[in-house]
Amino acid sequence: MATTFQRARNDEQRAQRRKAILDTAAAMLTEMPVAQVSLNELSRRVGLAKSNVLRYFESREAVLLELLDAACQELVEHLRTTLPEALDAAAPVTERADRIAAVVASALAERPVLCDLIGAQAAVLERNVSPQVAAEYKRSAIASAMAMAELVRTHLPELGEHDALRFTGGMIMVTGAVWTHAHPSAAMLAAYEADPALAALRLDFPSTLRQTLEVLLSGLLARAAG
C-alpha cells in the first residue's frame, strides 16, 4: 500500500523521503527486473507525485545507481567475513585463487538484484543522469572497487595491487555480461526448447561466472609470475 506524505519541511523529513523512495525501489527489484521498474510505478507505490520524486532523485536511473552503489558496498562487507572463513592461508596459490573465484561467484549468485543492476549499469543506468550524479556514483564505485581489490590481495598477495584492481574491474564486467546472457528473452527460451541443439548455448550463471573468474585470476597470476 502506498504511503501519502506531507510536504517535507526540514532535512530530516527530506532524508525520510529519500529513504522511502530507495526502499520502495529496492522492494520493486525483488519483484521485477530493472527494465520493468518505471518512475510512474515507483511514484505510485511510494505515495508521491512523480514530480515530487524528481525533487529527490533526478531520474529513475539515479535511484537505481544509488541502490547499485549500496549493494556493491554490502557485497564487499559480506566478503570480508566469508573469504577468511573459506580460505586456507597456507594453501597453494592456485587453490586459493580458485576458492576466491568460487566464493565471489557464489556471493554474486545469491544477489540477483545486484547482478541485474550491474548488467544494466553501463548501457542503461549511466545514460540518464547528470554529470554531477555520474561523478558521485563513480567516486563511490571506485572506492568499492579498491576495497574489493585490497580484500582479494589480502588473501592472494601474489596478485599485486595493480592486478588485484584489474581482477575487480574484470569481475564487474564479467558479472554483467554473464548475467545478461544467462537470462535470455522469452523468444530465446522458446528457441532453446524447440531445438535441443541450441540449448547448449544457454549459460548457467553461477558455474559460468565461477569458471570465468578462475580463468581471469589464473591469467593474471601467470602474467605476474612471468
Cα 85 to Cα 83: distance, rounded to the nearest angstrom: 5
Distance CA 27, CA 32 (A): 9
Distance between CA atoms of 143 and 182, rounded to whole angstroms? Answer: 28
Q: What region, left, alpha or beta, does residue 91 occupy, with left being phi > 0 and alpha being psi -120 to 50 degrees?
A: beta
- The reported pTM is 0.90
Report how far apart, in Å, the C-alpha atoms of 111 and of each of 106, 157, 160 are: 9, 27, 28
Give the pLDDT of the chain (226 residues) as one tens digit per residue. Answer: 444 455 556 678 889 999 999 999 999 999 999 999 999 999 999 999 999 999 999 999 999 999 999 999 999 999 999 999 999 999 999 999 999 999 999 999 999 999 999 999 999 999 999 999 999 999 999 999 999 999 999 999 999 999 999 999 999 999 999 999 999 989 999 999 899 888 888 899 999 999 999 999 999 999 988 7
Max Cα distance, the chain (Å)? 64
Residue 153 cell numbers, joined: 590481495
Q: Which three cell numbers stand for residue 35?
A: 527494465
